[in-house]
Structure 1
Amino acid sequence: MYLSMSLNRLISILNWLFVLFPISFIVGNSAINLHFVLFILFGCIYLTKKKIKFEYNFLILTFLFFCIALIISSLLNQFNIDKSFFYLRFLAFYYICFYLLKEKIFRLDLIFYYYAIIVAVISLDLIIQYFFGYNIIGLKINELGPTSFFQVEKIAGSFVQNFGFYLVFIIFSKFNKNNFYTIILKSFLVSLVSISIFISFQRIPMVIWIFFLTIYGMVYYKSKLIPILLSFAILTLFISNFSSKEIVESYTSFFDNAKDISSRTFKNYNTIKNKELFEEIKKDEIKVTNFESGSGHASLYANAFYIWEDNKILGIGYKNFYNNCIKKKLTRCTTHPHNYYLDILVTTGLVGLIILITYLIILFTKVIYSLRINIKDKSQKKFDILIIAFINFLMFFFPLKSSGSFFTTSNSTYMIITLVILLSQLRIINSKKVY
C-alpha cells in the first residue's frame, strides 16, 4: 500500500512528519520512537521510488565512523550490543533528512513557522501555569515550578531554549520595521520567551539562551540589538517584581556552585582515586553529603573520569555508565554523566570523542567561512536562517553545559534535525557543495 503512494503524497507526509517532531518531544519517548520509525519508513519509500543512489561525503562518513566506534566499544564490553547497532538508525535519519532538505523537498519556511508556533504555545503556557497554578488544559503546576505539557519532567525550559530561536526569527521577520512601536512589540515578545525559560527553574538553558540571544543581537546590532536589550530590561523587571523567592535562591545557588565546578570535579576525582580516603567517606553519611554537596555535578563528572580511566581508547559501550558506577562502588550513580562530551568520552573513549570533535570542527569552519564570504548579504533572509541554524548548533554542542544523555532518542533526534537544517542552509547560501 505504501509503495503505491505517489511522490507528491510522500513529500507531503514527510514534510508534516518533520514539522511535527517537536510535538513528539512534548508527548514523550514512546511518541518520539513511533514518529521516528514512521519518518524512516516513508523516507526509505521515497528514496526507493526516486531510485536514489547512495551518495556519501566526508561528514556522513565521519558520522558512520562514530557509529562504528560505538558498536565496537559495546562489542568489546559485551553490553547493549543490539542497541548499539540500532543507533545506526540515526545515520539513516541523518541521510534521509539531509537529502530531502538538499533537494528542497522540505520547506524551511514551513518548518520555521510551525516550530515557532509550537514553542510560542509552550512559552505562554509556562507563564500561565506560573501565575494561575494551572496550564491551558488544566494541568497543575509542579512543586518544582511550571512544566507545561511535560508534567513531571522538568525539561520545558530546555525545550523552549532548543526551539526558541525559530520563534525569534519569526518575530523579527514579521515585525521588520524599526519604529518605536514595533521595537517595543518585538522586545515584549522576545522577553516572553526569556521569562518562560527563567520560570522553568532550568538554570543552564537560561544562561545559554541569554548568552546566544546577546550574540544574535550583536550580529545584527543595527536592527536587532536594541529590541533584544530592551527584552532583557523587561526580563529584569519581571524578576524584580514577579519572581518567587525559590527561583531567586535557585539561580543564586547555581552561580555559586558553577564558580567552583571544575576545581571540585578534580578534587572529587583525586578523592575517589585515594581508595582509603574514599572508603572512609562512604562510611559516614555526613561526609558523603559534603562530598556530593552543591548541584552534584562535580561528583558525576569525577565519576566519569574515574570510569573512563580503565577504558581510555574505546570506552565502556552503549549506556553502560550506571553499571560501571555500581561495580566501582562510587557514590551518586546515574545513567549518564550529565555532559555530552563526558558521555561520549566514557561511552566510546578517545576514539569516539576525536571523531565527533573532528566532525564539529570541520562543520564549524565551513560555517564561519560561509558567514565571512556572505557577510555583505546579511540583510538577506537566507543569511539570517543560517545564523539561526548555527546558533542552534552552538547551543546544542556547548561544551560547558550539563545535559541529558547524548545517546537518548530525543537528544539524538534533535541533534540530527539541527545538523541537517544547518547543512542544507550552508548549501543554499553558497550554492555549492560545502557539506
Structure 2
Amino acid sequence: MSPEQWTRPEAEGAAGPPAAIAAKPTREQVIAGLRATSEGGADLVQLLTPEGQRVTHPDFDIDVSDAQLRDLYRDMVLVRRADREGNALQRQGQLGIWVPLLGQEAAQIGAGRAMQPQDMAFPSYREHGVAWCRGIDPTEVLGIFRGTDHGSWDPNSMRFHLYTIVIGNQCLNATGYAMGQRFDGKVGDPNGEATVVFFGDGATSQGDVHEAMVWSAVYDAPVVFFCQNNQWAISEPLERQTRVPLYRRASGYGFPGIRVDGNDVLASLAVTKWALDECRQGNGPVLIEAFTYRMDAHTTSDDPTRYRLADEQEAWKLKDPIERLRVHLVREQIADQGFFDGIDAEADELAARLRDYCFNIPEPPPERMFTEVYVEDTRQLAAQREDYLQYLAGFADEAKAGGVR
C-alpha cells in the first residue's frame, strides 16, 4: 500500500491507514485547528480578555502594578501613533516604504518590556514597538525607510540588532549569538543573558528559521523564537503555511512551544518573561506563537483588500489590544480621563516631532558608501572612492559649462 493510499481510504483496494498512522486532516479540520477563539482555550494563554476583564492562568500569571499598567498603555498608544505617522509620511512621498505594525502593539510591547537590559533582540522589519522598548527613538527608524541609512543605532549598546529585511535570516543570526552566550558562560543563573528573535508566520516557511531551531536545540542556545502570527504572510493565509498550530512545531525540535494571545499585552509580557528566564538559566530555546492580526497592509506597497475580507478585519477590531487595556484601566479605576488626555497630547507631540525630523533628514554625501562599510580604509577602497568622486565632479563641471547633455 502506498503512502498516498493511507490518506485516501476510499481508494479501490485501500483498507485505510495503519493504526499508528494518522489520516490526513481535511482543509476544514486544518483551519479549525489553526484558529483560536476570542474566549481563549486550553492552548491560548490569556490574562486580559477582549472585554478588558482580568483573568488568571495556572502557569503564566503575573503581578503588575497600576503604574506598570498605565506605562504599558502609554507604550502602545505612542507606538501606534508613531506607526500611523510613518504610514502617512510614506503616502505623502517622504518615505520609500513603510511596514505597519497596527494591531500588533501588545505582542511587541509585552515582549519588549519582558526583556532585561543584558538581553539581546533580533528584529525583522516590523518591530517598531520592540525598538521603542529598547530605548530607540522612532526617528532612528525613519532613515531606513527613507533610504538615508540602514539603521543609526549601535546594536551592542542598545541590545537591539539592526532591522533584517531578508525573511527569516535574523533567526540564524540570533541563534549564533545565543550560542555565543552559552559558550561564553553567560547563562545558568537568574542574572544570565538571553536572546529573543522576532519573525512572522510566513517566515516559518523559510529554511533559515528551521535551521536556526535545529541548531538552537542541539546546542541548548538561550534563544526565544517569538513568532508574531498575524494570520497573513502578505497575501497567503495561515492555512497555506502549516497544517498544525505553529507553536506545536517546537515539539519536533525538542523544546517548549506556547501560544499566547498576541492582543493581550499582559499575557505577552508574562509568557515572554517566563521564556527568557528559562533561557538565561540554561534550559534551552522556547518558541512563542503570539496569535494576533495584521490590521493594516503587509507594507505600504500591498493592497490587502484584494485578498482579505472586510468582515474578518471587523471581527478582529473587537480584540484591539489598546482598547481592551483602556477598558480595564477605566473599569478598575486605575486611570482617569486626565491620564488618557495626557497620553493623547504626548502622542500628538511625538507625531509632530517625527514629521519635522523626516522633512529635515539631511541627504547623505555620496562618499558615505566608502566610509561606513569597512572599519579600516584600504588602498583599493581609497582608489575607488577617488574615481567615483571624480566621476561625480564631472557632472558639476558640465553643468557649469551650460548644462548636462
Whether TM-score is above 0.5 comes out as no
Bigger radius of gyration, 1 or 2?
A: 2
Higher relative contact order (Cα pairs below 8 Å, separated by 6+ residues): 2
**TM (normalized to structure 1)?**
0.24
| Greater strand proportion | 2
